[in-house]
Each structure stands twice: as structure tokens, then as C-alpha cells.
């Protein structure tokens, strides 16, 4: 019973080598793998590089393609052979095929799906059991960096013959009143040996053990007899219910219980409960599963947007791809938590897992932190975006993949809706809604408590019947259509499933500031004025206006929260860009532009879309969203920085983002005027500013009262290196992020520094990656030397297992004293 993390540290070997694919000797026990590398999971072989300038930027110029093998030897007790042993894989990129002791036991296609294979018949008692896994990533199978290998957790699950099926507990809260909530628990028991048995299932609800947070310190699952997620006395217990399993068919049990004075789950108070399910046979405990859930009601309303527990909540969301920047696709709870906390600081309350199911731990984190989630299944159906993408297996696999996503994730209180796809080509086709309806129906069969949605990029989809494919229409980049949609579909809810696609490089400013799309792109960087967008896209302000003028819309999901690996628009020659254009002339023009781009081999390998850069540093836009999403937080932010020795006396416009409604700008103490922000205006702009060194400062007001101030000063020469612990801000985590910058002797930061750094980590930690947020840098992320990029760099350190020793980070840059920080 219970689950165990696979592997034990340092006991998996891997050899990504495309020339070796298909050679089945790797699955044999006597194959000599002593030359193979030992490593820990999760693992992404692509992120190890090297970058190749001539490889496609759309998938990050990294070698994620090809075939990789993993082998793992492990022990099985005689006693375990009386029950079942499964291998649960949370995600393997891609096309995993699995052997156990030389016998083929199964596989999957979709790299983002979680799945299980049964090892039981092939195991023997003792230590010489072997699992071999082959992965294959095809060229032209992704529009972004997909990662490669066993990039999510893998679990060896041991259970009794009679056990709760995988994802076999489904908890819903169909009736919530002020002083009570009805909790319904459906349990699926199985006996895969095909025998007949009569199990008894019993459920109890507990308050969760909050001492087990943060998640970094907790395994997601527990051995049966050890303390798990539950604590204290049960709040309610169900009677034991007999469930008869016949001929190996799964058997269902269904009960409802009432909990008194329920604590509702919400972003401000993400309370959870735990169901403990026990399975008994002949008076013996056979299996025990703990399922976290939350009590809350959700609704989408055509006039009033999204309602949580009966009250309107604006969806202030972002889309996220699955990579962790310099760490690649290899899932890490600390890296994910850092991303989510940063987004919350901005006021973000929702994530769209674009465009595929996320890691299960990501949803655990969203439950815990109070962040809403759109669980999205696909980026395409049978019609391709790339030659070898999911289209190659959609017909045979979509049902399994969709059911797997919904079944796995339906107990998470954070998940508010299922998305059956993003910008699906079939949904441009007059008959496409039928297939859409079928996919929606699959979601409902697995989970009748949630609605479905899709991200439509074709405006007509809101009017030509295609909207019938799902319950809630998601528009990608259509702020101008909310009004017409609402008028013509008065009973259908709508929201911005993908918005803005503004592009910028953190810290880079090119003059003149201009709203023109092609301006502001120099040296493969994009000016950080938040006025530049992809050709099909809008500034954040245009979407804000669309939402403010149409309160029916439930909110937005900005493309994207963080920069991600791949898709470096506007320096991306990926022809799938053309899918964004319905106008044929425009399409042809862009096709020509992309052809030209291809010839130039731009070095760009990661996106410019992020509100936050790849290293995790805020771009200016962070504050534009914070001003809107946290209106009660007194804040002000000025751009650009104030270090322009070459621009003395030159026209240097200034913008201010603030949650205040009035602002006065001062240059070296002289007022440049006070402005009031009118309706539908989201930023303050002073276009007639002429640079002089010193200080630029803003004082803001709200309702006539002083609100927040901000200033930027011209720095002198660098005098020292500044090291700051960027994550975790409190508590412990397996990863520590240290930010590096330079300051002058008065402590003023140098925003343009490019000094080369050399980093050393001593004691209980090891350096695993560095980054500076530069989308064009082709040095390996594992390098211990790197330049500052617009004044900043990040160092990522992993705590070594089994040591409490302190960790010391040392950073050297020429001509400056060495800096040291204990973390
Ligand atoms: C959208 C697409 C996203 C991303 C984005 C960039 O059309 O759904 O995956 O490509 O464009 O602006």
C-alpha cells in the first residue's frame, strides 16, 4: 500500500542518443549500463543543451528532440507480490514505452498526460527488478519548448489486490449553505486480477494537517500507516459500505455526508478538507487514500462574469507554459511556487495551463495558495499546427487523454473550468462544433460539476454557431467583440482566454518611444515601454478598456505571466504565427516577413511576452497589472530608468504606473506637471521630458489624498556587488534563488550593468543554473559565469540532500570586491 518516490536518489541511468533508438537490448537485465549516467528525476535532457544558433527559436534552439532511455533497478518484497504494483507517470515527453523485466508493459503518446501501467505480472521478489523506459521526441511536434524525458514525477505504487482505482475518489460539494455543506464522495474500487471480491469502502472527512506545509517538505502521498495529510478527529464519518467487484469490473460506491459550518475555499482563505478512504476486506484494511478537496460554489453568468461562493470575482489571470526557465521542463515544486507567489504579488488570481494539462503538484499549489485554474487539454485536435503534433494521434487518443486530465484534476478546488482546446482549427470549420460538443460531453461525463470552455481565435466563432461547442466562450485577442457577443448571445458567458501578447525585454528602452509595432526592436530586444505587441495582439490597455466597457466579460488571461522557452516573437520564424491571421492579405505579408526572419537566424530562443522575465525579474508591465489588479495597494512605478549619460538634453519620455488616480512628476525637484488619470486611461505619460542626470520622482494621489511615491536616480560608478535572497523569502525550500546586481557607493542600483560574473557555491548547496533574462543568450544555463543583463542576474542553488550545512554564495566581477551571501 502507499506510494514511494522513484527513484532512490542517484539510481536512474539515462542515455539520450538518437542513434540508439529502438535497440531493445536496453530492456534486458544483463545489458551493461555502467557507462550510463546516474541522475535523479524529474529530468529534462533538452535543457542541458548546448544551444544551437541554427536550430529553431520556436523550440528554444535546444536539443530536446530524439530518443532517450531510462533504466531503473529496484527491489520488491515477497509480500508485495500478493497485491498490485503500478508505475504512475505524471508526464513523460514524449511517446513513452515501458518495459518491466524485459516484458513490454505499455506506453502512452501525449507527453503532458498522467498515466499508469501495471507491473504486477512481471515482478519477482528481490532486488533485480528492472524498469526501462524509452522516450521519443519528434521534430516539428511543438510550437514551444516541450522539454524531454521523464520531466515530471514517477511513482511506484503498491496496493492490495482490492484497492481504490487510480483517481478513483471523486468529491463534490453540490449543496452549500451558510451552516452546512453536503459533500458527496464517489469511490471506484477495483481488483485488476479479474477475481471476485467484496470490498467495503469507508470515508471520513478531516481538517487537513496544516503542519505539512510548505509543499516542498511533503510528499504528495503517504504510506498507509504513517501520518498523512489528516490530523485530529474526523469531522464526519460514513458508514462502511459493501462494494462487490465482479470479474475485474470496477465497482462504484456513492455516499453523501454533511459537514457543519464549512470553511469555504476562496483566494483569500483557501481552506481545504481531506477525505480519507479506507478499503476493507474480511476485516483487514486493504487500501487507504487521502483526497484533498475544498468547499466552494462556482458559476459563470452571462451578465456578471465569474461568481465564487455567490460573489463576483474578476478573473485576473495569466497563461503559463510549463517550463521553469533555466531549469527547463523538469518539474520542481519550489520553482513553481516561486512563480505563483510572484504572480500573486502582482494581484494575479488565475492561471490557464496553456495549452495542456499541468503537473499535479502545480494544482496542489494553486489549491493551497488560492489561485483559480483553467485546466486546458490540447493545442490542436486532428488538424495540425505542426506536422508531428498531437494531430498524429488525436483520433485514437483524445478521449483517453481528456478523461485522464479531468479524472486526475477534478477534486482540486482551484480548477474552475475545463478547456477542450486552444485556437483549434476545427473550430473554424462549420461542422467543428459537433466535435467540440463531443469533447465537452467527455468532460461532463467525468465531472458534471464544471463547465467547459475553449480559446477561440476566430472572431466569427462567437456568432456562427461554434459557440455551442462549449458553455463559456473564451476569446483570444478580441477585446472589441465582447459587446457584440453579449448582445447576440445574451445567455452565454464570455471572457478573454488569451489577451494582450505585449512584448518587451526587461530593462531595455529604445528611443523614440513609439506606439508603432515595428519600432522599438533593436539588437533582438524589444523596448520595455509596453506599447509593442505581436501583430495580432493588443496593448494591456486595450484589453483593460474592453473589459471595463463590458462588465459582462469574466476577466482575462494575459499571454503570458512569465517568459518561457521558445516562441521568441517578434524574432520567431515559426509559420504557425500565420494561424493568427484570418485576413489573407495580412497572412501573405506576414509569411514574407517570416521567410526573411528565417534567413537572418536571429539568436532569440525564449519569449518576450512575459510580464516577468525568464529569470523571474519583473518587467515594467508587472506594475501596470499590479496597479489595476491591486487597486488598494499604494504603489507607483516609473519607467525608464534614469541612467542616460549619452542622452543629456534629449527627449526622454516618462511613464508612470500607479494605483493612484493623480500623479505629479519631478525632475531634480522641478515639477513637470500634475496629471489626472481619466476614465479608460491606465497609465500616466509625460512625453515632453528632456533628460538630465539626477533624480526623477513621482508623487501620486488617490481621491485627492497622497497615495504612493517612487523615484529613480542616476547611479555613479559601481562600487559593490549586491546579493539578495530572491526566493524563498521565508521558510525553507530545496531551491534557493539569489539575485545579483551592482550598486554605487550610495546604494543606487546600476540598471545597465553588463559586467561578467563568476559564481561559486559552497557548503550544503550546489549551483544548478544561472540566468539573466536575456532572450538571446546562447550560453548554457548551467554555466557558473554569465554577464549581468540590464543590471541583473539570478543564481539557482539546490540544497544537497542529507546535509544541514549552511550554503554560501560568492560572486566575483572584475574590479569590484567579492560579494558573499549565506542563504
Ligand atoms: C496565440 C497562441 C499562443 C501564443 C500566442 C502568442 O495565438 O494561442 O499559444 O502563440 O498566440 O501571441
599 vs 224, higher pLDDT? 599
Cα of 574 vs centre of ligand 1, distance in Å, is 11
Mutate to test the pocket of ligand 1, among 57, 59, 143, 423 (most ligand atoms within 8 A of CB): 423
Query: Which residues are near ligand 1 (CB < 6 Å)?
Result: 355, 422-423, 457, 476, 498, 501, 534, 537, 559, 567, 569, 580
- pLDDT per residue as tens digits for the range 432-467: 889 999 999 999 999 999 999 999 998 788 888 888
Would you tell me how many other CB atoms lie within 10 Å of the CB of residue 175?
A: 13
pLDDT band at residue 212 under the 50/70/90 scheme? very low
**Residue with CA nearest ligand 1 atom 3:** 559
Catalytic residue from among 165, 423, 543, 699: 423
Cα of 418 vs centre of ligand 1, distance in Å, is 19
Q: Is 387 a catalytic residue?
A: no
Instruction: Give the CA angle between residues 583, 589, 595 to the nearest 5°.
Output: 130
Cα of 350 vs centre of ligand 1, distance in Å, is 18
Does the pLDDT of residue 690 top 60, yes or no?
Answer: yes
> Closest ligand 1 atom, CA of 567?
10
pLDDT value at position 224? 36
State the SS3 of 230-293.
ECCCCCEECCCEEEEEECCECEEEEEEEEEECCCEECCCCECCEEEEEEEEECCEEEEEEEEEE
Where is average pLDDT lowest: 109-123, 221-235, 254-268?
221-235
**Residue with CA nearest ligand 1 atom 6:** 501
Dist. CA 201–CA 255, nearest whole Å: 10
Dist. CA 763–CA 774, nearest whole Å: 29
Helix 540-549 with 621-629: angle, nearest 10 deg: 20
Cα of 343 vs centre of ligand 1, distance in Å, is 20
pLDDT value at position 739? 98
Dist. CA 570–CA 591, nearest whole Å: 13
Grid cell of 250 as nine digits: 470496477
* Per-residue CA distances from 218 to 212, 228, 655 (Å): 6, 9, 44
> Closest ligand 1 atom, CA of 536?
12
Cα of 321 vs centre of ligand 1, distance in Å, is 11
> Closest ligand 1 atom, CA of 579?
7
Grid cell of 670 as nine digits: 522641478
- Give the helix/strand (H/E) hosting 399: helix 394-409
Query: Average pLDDT in the 314-328 region?
Result: 98
3-state SS, residue 534: coil
CB-based contact 552:132 (threshold 8 Å): no
State the distance between the two ends of the chain, measured CA to CA, in whole angstroms. Answer: 38
**Residue with CA nearest ligand 1 atom 7:** 580
Dist. CA 302–CA 472, nearest whole Å: 9
Helix 360-369 with 394-409: angle, nearest 10 deg: 40
Dist. CA 94–CA 151, nearest whole Å: 10
Long-range contacts of 444-451 (CB under 8 A, 24+ apart): 445/403, 446/402, 446/403, 446/406, 446/407, 446/410, 447/170, 447/406, 447/407, 447/410, 447/418, 449/172, 449/174, 449/410, 450/298, 450/410, 450/415, 450/416, 450/417, 450/418, 451/300, 451/417, 451/418
pLDDT value at position 199? 74
- pLDDT per residue as tens digits for the range 556-573: 999 999 999 999 999 998
* Per-residue CA distances from 725 to 379, 399, 532, 581, 728 (Å): 37, 45, 32, 44, 7
Does the pLDDT of residue 77 top 60, yes or no?
Answer: yes
- pLDDT per residue as tens digits for the range 51-67: 999 999 999 999 999 99
Grid cell of 428 as nine digits: 473554424
Dist. CA 93–CA 111, nearest whole Å: 4
- Residue recorded with cell 462549420: 430
Instruction: Give the CA angle between residues 780, 532, 559 to the nearest 5°.
Output: 65
Does the pLDDT of residue 313 top 80, yes or no?
Answer: yes
pLDDT value at position 517? 54
- pLDDT per residue as tens digits for the range 401-434: 999 999 999 999 999 999 999 999 998 888 888 9
- The closest alpha carbon to 748, from 715, 710, 719, belongs to 715
Cα of 609 vs centre of ligand 1, distance in Å, is 10
Dist. CA 40–CA 672, nearest whole Å: 58
Q: Is 423 a catalytic residue?
A: yes
Query: Average pLDDT in the 210-225 region?
Result: 40
Q: Domains of the chain (ranges plus CATH)?
A: 2-39+66-137 (2.60.120.260), 162-293 (2.60.40.10), 304-502+537-568 (3.20.20.80), 629-713 (2.60.40.10), 720-822 (2.60.40.10)
- pLDDT per residue as tens digits for the range 127-176: 889 999 999 999 999 999 999 999 999 999 998 888 899 999 999 999 99
> Closest ligand 1 atom, CA of 423?
8
Mutate to test the pocket of ligand 1, among 575, 577, 580 (most ligand atoms within 8 A of CB): 580
Dist. CA 363–CA 152, nearest whole Å: 14
pLDDT band at residue 91 under the 50/70/90 scheme? very high
> Closest ligand 1 atom, CA of 580?
7
pLDDT value at position 735? 95
Query: Average pLDDT in the 728-747 region?
Result: 93
Cα of 424 vs centre of ligand 1, distance in Å, is 12
3-state SS, residue 38: strand
- Residue recorded with cell 504579488: 345
Burial letters 140-152, b for 16+ CB under 10 A, else e:
ebbbbbbbbbbbb
400 vs 432, higher pLDDT? 400
* Per-residue CA distances from 753 to 153, 742, 756 (Å): 39, 7, 9
Cα of 553 vs centre of ligand 1, distance in Å, is 20
pLDDT band at residue 114 under the 50/70/90 scheme? very high
pLDDT band at residue 12 under the 50/70/90 scheme? low
pLDDT value at position 201? 78
Cα of 146 vs centre of ligand 1, distance in Å, is 15
Catalytic residue from among 14, 290, 426, 498: 498
> Closest ligand 1 atom, CA of 501?
12
Dist. CA 183–CA 411, nearest whole Å: 12
> Closest ligand 1 atom, CA of 576?
10
Amino acid at each position: 500500500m502507499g506510494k514511494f518516490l522513484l527513484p532512490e536518489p542517484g539510481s536512474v541511468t539515462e542515455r539520450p542518443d538518437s542513434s540508439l533508438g529502438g535497440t531493445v537490448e536496453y530492456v534486458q537485465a544483463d545489458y551493461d549500463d555502467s557507462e550510463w549516467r546516474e541522475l535523479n528525476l524529474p529530468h529534462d535532457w533538452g535543457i542541458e543543451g548546448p544551444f544551437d544558433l541554427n536550430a529553431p527559436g520556436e523550440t528554444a534552439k535546444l536539443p530536446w528532440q530524439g530518443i532517450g532511455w531510462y533504466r531503473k533497478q529496484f527491489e520488491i518484497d515477497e509480500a508485495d507480490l500478493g497485491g498490485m504494483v503500478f508505475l504512475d507517470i505524471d508526464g513523460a515527453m514524449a511517446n513513452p514505452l515501458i518495459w518491466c523485466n524485459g516484458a513490454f508493459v505499455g506506453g502512452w503518446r501525449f507527453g503532458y498526460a498522467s498515466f499508469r501501467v501495471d507491473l504486477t505480472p512481471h515482478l519477482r521478489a528481490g532486488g533485480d527488478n528492472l524498469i526501462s523506459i524509452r522516450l521519443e521526441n519528434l521534430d516539428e511536434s511543438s510550437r514551444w519548448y516541450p522539454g524531454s524525458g521523464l520531466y515530471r514525477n514517477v511513482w511506484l505504487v503498491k496496493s492490495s489486490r482490492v484497492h481504490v482505482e487510480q483517481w478513483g475518489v471523486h468529491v463534490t460539494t453540490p449543496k452549500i449553505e451558510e451552516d452546512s455543506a453536503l459533500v458527496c464522495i464517489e469511490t471506484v474500487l477495483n481488483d485488476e486480477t479479474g477475481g471476485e471480491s467484496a470490498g467495503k469502502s469507508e470515508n471520513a472527512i478531516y481538517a487537513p494537517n496544516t503542519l505539512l506545509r510548505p509543499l516542498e517538505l511533503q510528499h504528495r502521498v503517504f504510506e498507509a500507516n504513517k501520518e498523512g495529510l489528516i490530523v485530529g478527529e474526523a469531522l464526519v464519518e460514513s458508514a462502511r459500505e459493501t462494494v462487490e467487484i465482479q470479474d475485474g469490473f470496477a465497482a462504484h460506491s456513492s455516499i453523501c455526508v454533511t459537514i457543519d459550518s464549512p470553511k469555504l475555499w476562496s483566494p483569500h482563505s483557501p481552506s481545504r478538507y481531506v477525505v480519507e478512504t479506507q478499503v476493507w476486506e474480511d476485516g483487514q484494511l486493504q487500501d487507504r487514500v487521502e483526497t484533498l478537496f475544498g468547499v466552494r460554489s462556482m458559476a459563470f453568468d452571462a451578465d456578471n462574469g465569474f461568481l465564487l461562493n455567490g460573489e463576483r470575482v474578476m478573473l485576473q489571470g495569466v497563461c503559463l507554459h510549463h517550463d521553469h526557465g533555466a531549469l527547463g521542463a523538469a518539474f520542481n515544486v519550489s520553482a513553481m511556487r516561486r512563480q505563483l507567489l510572484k504572480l500573486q504579488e502582482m494581484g494575479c488570481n488565475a492561471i490557464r495551463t496553456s495549452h495542456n494539462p499541468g503537473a499535479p503538484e502545480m494544482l496542489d499549489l494553486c489549491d493551497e495558495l488560492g489561485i483559480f485554474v483553467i485546466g486546458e487539454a490540447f493545442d490542436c485536435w486532428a488538424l495540425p499546427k505542426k506536422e508531428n503534433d498531437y494531430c498524429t494521434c488525436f483520433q485514437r487518443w483524445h478521449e483517453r487523454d481528456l478523461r485522464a486530465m479531468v479524472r486526475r484534476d477534478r477534486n482540486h478546488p482551484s480548477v474552475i473550468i475545463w478547456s477542450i482546446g486552444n485556437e483549434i482549427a476545427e473550430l473554424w470549420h462549420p461542422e467543428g462544433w459537433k466535435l467540440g460538443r463531443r469533447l465537452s460531453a467527455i468532460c461532463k461525463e467525468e465531472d458534471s460539476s464544471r463547465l467547459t470552455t475553449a480559446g477561440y481565435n476566430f472572431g466569427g466563432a462567437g456568432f456562427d454557431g461554434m459557440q455551442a461547442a462549449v458553455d463559456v466562450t473564451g476569446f483570444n485577442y478580441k477585446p472589441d467583440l465582447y459587446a457584440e457577443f453579449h448582445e447576440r448571445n445574451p445567455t452565454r458567458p464570455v471572457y478573454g482566454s488569451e489577451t494582450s501578447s505585449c512584448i518587451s525585454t526587461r530593462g531595455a528602452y529604445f528611443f523614440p518611444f513609439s506606439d508603432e509595432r515595428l519600432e522599438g526592436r533593436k539588437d533582438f530586444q524589444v523596448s520595455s515601454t509596453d506599447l509593442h505587441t505581436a501583430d495580432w495582439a493588443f496593448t494591456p490597455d486595450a484589453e483593460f478598456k474592453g473589459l471595463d466597457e463590458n462588465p459582462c466579460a469574466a476577466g482575462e488571461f494575459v499571454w503570458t505571466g512569465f517568459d518561457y522557452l521558445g516562441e521568441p516573437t517578434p524574432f520567431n520564424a515559426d509559420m504557425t504565427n500565420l494561424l493568427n491571421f484570418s485576413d489573407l492579405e495580412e497572412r501573405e505579408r506576414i509569411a514574407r516577413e517570416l521567410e526573411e526572419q528565417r534567413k537572418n537566424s536571429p539568436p532569440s530562443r525564449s519569449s518576450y511576452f512575459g510580464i516577468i522575465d525568464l529569470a523571474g525579474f519583473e518587467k515594467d508591465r508587472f506594475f501596470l497589472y499590479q496597479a489595476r489588479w491591486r487597486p488598494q495597494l499604494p504603489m507607483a512605478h516609473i519607467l525608464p530608468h534614469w541612467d542616460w549619460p549619452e542622452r543629456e538634453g534629449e527627449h526622454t519620455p516618462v511613464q508612470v504606473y500607479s494605483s493612484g488616480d493623480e500623479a505629479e512628476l519631478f525632475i531634480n525637484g522641478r515639477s513637470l506637471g500634475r496629471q489626472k488619470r481619466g476614465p479608460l486611461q491606465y497609465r500616466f505619460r509625460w512625453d515632453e521630458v528632456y533628460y538630465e542626470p539626477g533624480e526623477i520622482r513621482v508623487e501620486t494621489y488617490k481621491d485627492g489624498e497622497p497615495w504612493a511615491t517612487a523615484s529613480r536616480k542616476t547611479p555613479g560608478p559601481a562600487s559593490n556587488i549586491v546579493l539578495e535572497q530572491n526566493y524563498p523569502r521565508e521558510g525553507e525550500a530545496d531551491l534557493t534563488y539569489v539575485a545579483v546586481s551592482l550598486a554605487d557607493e550610495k546604494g543606487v542600483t546600476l540598471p545597465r550593468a553588463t559586467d561578467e560574473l563568476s559564481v561559486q557555491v559552497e557548503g550544503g548547496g550546489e549551483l544548478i543554473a544561472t540566468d539573466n533574462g536575456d532572450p538571446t543568450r546562447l550560453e548554457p544555463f548551467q554555466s557558473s559565469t554569465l554577464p549581468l543583463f540590464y543590471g541583473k542576474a539570478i543564481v539557482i542553488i539546490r540544497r544537497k540532500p542529507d546535509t544541514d550545512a549552511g550554503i554560501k554564495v560568492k560572486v566575483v566581477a572584475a574590479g569590484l570586491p567579492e560579494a558573499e551571501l549565506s542563504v
